[in-house]
Amino acid sequence: MDRLLDSGAVLGFTIRAREDSGPQGVRAIMMIEVSGQSTTQVIRSLRGIAALHQLHSTNGNWDLVAHLSAESLADFDRVLREVRNIPGITNSETSILLSSV
């Protein structure tokens, strides 16, 4: 490995940890509907929420899909309220992720 690193053939390493090996918490997917032309402002506001780990634009009934996590249900409830209070968000639907299969 040292030789591969020294030669530049390998630039670095990464790991993939099992999702169930980390700290317990609440993980969820939230579908978000945005009103009118406010998508850019909504995205900017959502990016400021630490519990939001990924944000995707999408087609269909929902405009955005967010991956959320929190340490507890109380924290998760706070995050949901924070997201739903963002101006321009007109509707949302959240599904808590129970287990990976």
| 76: Cβ contacts below 8 Å, ≥ 6 apart | 26, 28, 51, 68, 70, 96
Please answer whether residues 19 and 74 qualify as being in contact, where contact means their C-beta atoms are separated by less than 8 angstroms.
no
Using one digit for the tens of pLDDT, what is the confidence trace for 74-88? 999 999 999 999 999
Q: Residue 58: which domain range?
A: 23-97
Please answer whether residues 94 and 28 qualify as being in contact, where contact means their C-beta atoms are separated by less than 8 angstroms.
yes
Q: Residue 4 — φ and ψ, nearest 5°? A: -65, -40
Using one digit for the tens of pLDDT, what is the confidence trace for 20-68? 545 568 999 999 999 988 999 999 999 999 999 999 999 989 999 999 9
User: Per the structure, how many domains does the chain have?
Assistant: 1
pLDDT at 72 over 50: yes
- Considering the domain boundaries, does residue 2 fall inside one? no
Please answer whether residues 90 and 34 qualify as being in contact, where contact means their C-beta atoms are separated by less than 8 angstroms.
yes
pTM listed for this prediction: 0.74
- What confidence score (pLDDT) does residue 3 get? 84
- Considering the domain boundaries, does residue 92 fall inside one? yes
